[in-house]
Amino acid sequence: MPLVSPYPLNLYKGDSYSFEFRIWQDQAKTIPFNLNGVAVMAEIRKEPDINSPILASFSCSVTQPNIIIATLNATDTNVLPPCGAWDLRGFITSVSVVTFLFGPVFVQPFVTVA
């Protein structure tokens, strides 16, 4: 199974983001986690609770063997509150789900407006 790691997100309101995450099976990061056939999803919610409303969903793609690209557009980050929670999960089958990353989300308001 992959390692589950805390990963806080520090975002700037109204900016676009593209994160590249490499998923490993071991602490030494020598054994890539095989993402073949794994559907990945990531969401930001107000609180780390399934009943908390979704504030933003990442667009996620997989590059073999172990890379996940997760992107947020400026429209999504522009409506985020100052703090929240997020996670990145893999759905291997309908009953096999793994969490790769999770953590708090901090959003800094922008200053300059075009």
What is the C-alpha to C-alpha distance for residues 2 and 97, in angstroms, rounded to an integer? 11
Count how many residues are written for the chain.
Answer: 114
Peptide bond into 48 cis (omega under 30): no
pTM of the model: 0.91
Q: Which residues contact 114 (CB under 8 A, 6 or more apart)?
A: none
- Provide the 8-state DSSP code for 28: T
Q: What is the pLDDT of residue 2?
A: 75
Q: In sequence order, what are the residues at sequence separation of 6 or more whose Cβ sits closer than 8 angstroms to the Cβ of residue 30?
A: 24
pLDDT at 53: 96
- What integer pLDDT is reported at residue 22 of this predicted model? 96
Domains in the chain and their CATH numbers?
Answer: 5-108 (2.60.40.10)
Sequence-distant (6+) residues with CB within 8 A of 14 are 74, 77, 78, 110
What is the reported pLDDT for 29? 92
Q: Say how far apart CA 44 and CA 79 lie, in whole Å.
A: 11
Task: Give the residue from 49, 40, 45 showing the smallest Cα distance to 19.
Answer: 40
In the chain (114 residues long), the average pLDDT of successive 10-residue segments reads: 88 97 93 95 96 97 97 97 97 88 96 84
